[in-house]
A and B are shown apart, each in its own frame.
Chain A
């Protein structure tokens, strides 16, 4: 069964550095998402992406964050200048666009980001 893949599985970065998290969504999916989960807390929505542009974003997704789909397969999340509070598990998800409006999102295994 097709999967969403994320790399790296664990990223350790110094505070203030830029980090890029990578995702390969399922190939025929058209909606892409990033979520994060701070240790012990809820999974929180960050941003959704469709038709090569952001469709919705949460208040967490400030100017330090950006997303890009540089080619036909990758979907990246960039944090420009990381802060300690960015330490979390980051999940990528994708969803097909079909006739039904009710399709589940498929999640990757996540990237654990640790900011030192």
Chain B
């Protein structure tokens, strides 16, 4: 089974518009995290939402989590050209202390100036 599938795979919007990306997962989780990756670069942590939380905000980012549907969404408001990147959800579902992440396949966001 595949954990952490995002949709859409690609999203192209105009600057100033909102961008919404969705993530679905299959197993129970401790938390869900969203990361951003600029082309050829590393993963930058954006936001973490715990399994007992339903919504979280950080600046222009809003994340929701529905554990009954095993899904999450990331909303970027008032997008900028600099938001162009790939966005990945990652689930922390390990029962042990290592807490490795399982990543989705990502959404490629393009914000047009």
A45, A48, A106, A112: which contacts B102 (Cβ < 8 A)? A45
Does A102 contact B50, Cβ atoms closer than 8 Å?
Answer: yes
Give the shortest distance, in Å, between B26 (CB) and chain A (any CB).
14
What separation, in Å, do the CA atoms of A109 and B104 have in the docked complex? 19
Q: Which residues of A contact B42 (CB under 8 A)?
A: 4, 6, 91, 107-110
A31, A35, A104: which contacts B45 (Cβ < 8 A)? A104
Please report whether the interface of chain A is mostly helix, strand, loop or mixed according to DSSP. Answer: strand
Cβ-based interface call for B81 (8 A): no
Task: Give chain B interface residues in 89-103, CB to chain A under 8 Å.
Answer: 90, 92, 94, 96-103
What separation, in Å, do the CA atoms of A41 and B101 have in the docked complex? 15
Q: Which residues of B contact A31 (CB under 8 A)?
A: 97-99
Q: Which residues of A contact B30 (CB under 8 A)?
A: 101-102
B contacts with A, residue count (CB < 8 A): 27
Interface centre among A4, A42, A93 (most CB of B within 10 A): A42
Q: How large is the interface on A (under 10, 10 to 19, 20 to 34, 35 or more residues)?
A: 20 to 34
Does A42 contact B96, Cβ atoms closer than 8 Å?
Answer: no
Cβ-based interface call for A83 (8 A): no
Does A48 contact B41, Cβ atoms closer than 8 Å?
Answer: no
B31, B94, B103: which contacts A44 (Cβ < 8 A)? B103
Does A107 contact B44, Cβ atoms closer than 8 Å?
Answer: yes
Cβ-based interface call for A75 (8 A): no
B43, B44, B50, B100: which contacts A45 (Cβ < 8 A)? B100
Task: Give chain A interface residues in 1-30, CB to chain B under 8 Å.
Answer: 4, 6
B35, B44, B94, B105: which contacts A56 (Cβ < 8 A)? B94
Give the shortest distance, in Å, between B25 (CB) and chain A (any CB).
13
14 more CB-based (< 8 A) A-B contacts, given A31-B99, A56-B96: A31-B97, A33-B101, A41-B105, A43-B90, A55-B98, A56-B100, A93-B43, A101-B99, A102-B48, A102-B92, A104-B45, A107-B35, A107-B42, A112-B40
